[in-house]
Amino acid sequence: MKQVLSCIQPTGKLHLGRYFGAVKNWVDLQSSYDCIYGIVDLHAMTMPYSPKKLREASWELIYNLIASGIEKENIFVQSMIPEHGELAWILGTVCSYGELSRMTQFKDKTQQVKDTDKDAFVSAGLFTYPVLQAADILIYNADYVPVGKDQEQHLELTRNIAQRFNHVVGKEYFVSPETLFTEVPKVMSTADPTIKMSASKGEKHFIDLFGDDARIIKQIKSAVTDAGDQAPGTMSPGIENLFSLLKACGGANYDSLLESYNKGELRYGDFKMEVAQAVVDLVKPMRERLEDIKANKKDIKYAIKQSTAEIRKKAMKTLSEVKELTGIMQTAKNI
Ligand code: TRP
């Protein structure tokens, strides 16, 4: 079976945008591929962060992912597999300064650091972030990496790093990972449908996947629609967003509601209630599962340590082979 790998940073809440944009796809892929998903806490340290909150955020995200349908066995925690960091060092030697300077995420985040806190500094970790990402991918010989379009540049860099490594050691060792783009609905903020739903923009700009029903209903009821002067045959960003949310949730009345809209007969109040109901129906079982998970935190933590240890075996094998190929020292070779 082909190896699928993706990772997520333990920052921010799991909201509808992140669920439909990534996590749901990861859940579905599990039935067709050998999937592993990493909680990349080392990456989360590249932006100003709180040491008090990091570990708790990682566990919280793990609980959320399991409640969303990710199998425990498929989850690993990056910092519990020290081989990632070690491979990143080696890969950093076959990646150029120029390539890293061209990464748009680096430029964006540099700007973000400067905008949010003038005393904060742009860390070297933020600069070398894509090298660690390449290590995450190559250490498991991933065939497919499901990510959003914003990560394409990092994937391209990963392929360059793999090729350059192969060239240096004189062996076609690493396979070139392919980006797995899938059609995902773009979920916008209901309070401002011109920007993407995001936890960093403030409370009203995201709908918590595990929020309570009343709050979800309230947020959707107050969603921005249009001023009633929309040109025939067009749709405002707000209405479009509500329709795509409804569709993403598998809302059964999608077609008939769209027909009403096209005839100019859609009553927005009723429409919003339909959307809110579809979201509530989707998240309710997940929220219940999360409650169960939280009642058994100890078992879950134990299971994740086990799954990480199991997944680590692959990483250890790769790193050992890499050390052989590069000629650096190895302690034990009995793995
Ligand atoms: N950079 C990715 C993001 O911001 C997270 C990430 C880290 C990742 N390592 C990865 C994604 C490896 C895919 C594969 O979303």
Instruction: Report the predicted TM-score, pTM, of the whole model to 2 decimal places.
Output: 0.94
**How far does residue 223's CA lie from ligand 1's centre (Å)?**
31
**How far does residue 218's CA lie from ligand 1's centre (Å)?**
33
Residue 148 CA: nearest ligand 1 atom is 15
- What are 225-253's pLDDT values in tens digits? 998 888 888 899 999 999 999 999 998 89
CA angle 216, 288, 199 (to 5 degrees): 40
- What are 46-71's pLDDT values in tens digits? 999 999 999 999 999 999 999 999 99
Q: Residue 335 has what pLDDT? A: 52
Mutation pick for ligand 1 pocket among 8, 29, 47, 133 (CB with most ligand atoms within 8 Å): 133
CB atoms within 10 A of CB 160: 16
- What are 270-321's pLDDT values in tens digits? 999 999 999 999 999 999 999 999 999 999 999 999 999 999 999 999 999 9
Task: Name the closest-CA residue to atom 11, ligand 1.
Answer: 7
- Exposed/middle/buried for 216, CB within 10 Å: 0-12, 13-18, 19+? buried
Examine the pLDDT at 38 and tell me if it is beyond 90: yes
190 close to 207: Cβ distance less than 8 angstroms: yes
- Check if 158 has its Cβ closer than 6 Å to any atom of ligand 1: no
CB atoms within 10 A of CB 302: 12
**How far does residue 6's CA lie from ligand 1's centre (Å)?**
6
Average confidence score pLDDT of the chain: 95
| Distance (Å) of CA 151 to CA 25, 122, 196, 266 | 16, 20, 16, 38
**How far does residue 147's CA lie from ligand 1's centre (Å)?**
8
pLDDT band at 328 (very low <50, low <70, confident <90, very high): very high
98 close to 104: Cβ distance less than 8 angstroms: no
